[in-house]
Amino acid sequence: MGYAIVEAALEAGHDVILISGPVNLAPPSNAKLVSVSTSDEMFDAVHRQANKCDVCILCAAVADYKPAKVSPVKIKKRSENFSLELIRTRDILDSLGHQRDRRFLLVGFAAETNHVKENAAKKLHDKNCDIIVANDVSSANSGIESDANEVTILFQNGAPQKISRAPKKIIASELVKIFSKIRNKNV
């Protein structure tokens, strides 16, 4: 979905900074690409670029947890069970939402498997976003790993708006129009 939004924003004539981890997608040639590998690199890159933007769109959490310790060598298979301690990663969306003097429109995504609207509304409020795009990822034919999606857009001020199931390219184009309209209203 993120890459589809980048393409739609470029087609609409916007300048785009794409911060991306490893993916099997070719980056759009007209976007400024910032490649990262870890959640910490993503956090730092987003914070370096955010204030240069009119709209920040965070399509997915990098990871909610990471290993507490990283082994410099391969961990060999053992006969007994092995436990891995995980620690929380820094929450990029939350940190941007609570940034003082934020001048950009902050858009987050909420990939949910149950209570989609309720969980997305809570995320909108808790993380202090301007917009949350909620999508139900409980089905294999929509959302993650699919070329189609359907979303519900929640706003800090205003009624939710639904975009019915369609190819991600079409949804991305509609989202870019919505984000641009709201940003232009707030300027």
Mean pLDDT of 117-141: 89
Mean pLDDT of 153-174: 92
User: pLDDT of 67-77, one tens digit each?
Assistant: 999 899 998 98
Mean pLDDT of 33-49: 95
Residue 138 has a pLDDT of: 78
Residue 187 has a pLDDT of: 61
Mean pLDDT of 99-107: 93
- How far does CA 63 lie from the centroid of its chain? 11
- Decide which of 79 and 45 is more confident: 45
The overall average pLDDT reported for the chain is 91
Residue 67 has a pLDDT of: 92
pLDDT higher than threshold 90 for residue 14: yes
Q: Domains along the chain?
A: 2-65+83-186 (3.40.50.10300)
The answer to whether the CB of 92 falls within 8 A of the CB of 56 is no
Residue 131 has a pLDDT of: 96
pLDDT higher than threshold 70 for residue 145: no
pTM equals 0.90
**Reduced 3-state DSSP string for the chain:** CHHHHHHHHHHCCCCCEEEECCCCCCCCCCCEEEECCCHHHHHHHHHHHHHHCCEEEECCCCCCEEECCCCCCCCCCCCCCCCCCEEECCCHHHHHHCCCCCCCEEEEEEEECCCHHHHHHHHHHHCCCCEEEEEECCCCCCCCCCCEEEEEEEECCCCCEEEEEEEHHHHHHHHHHHHHHHHHHHC
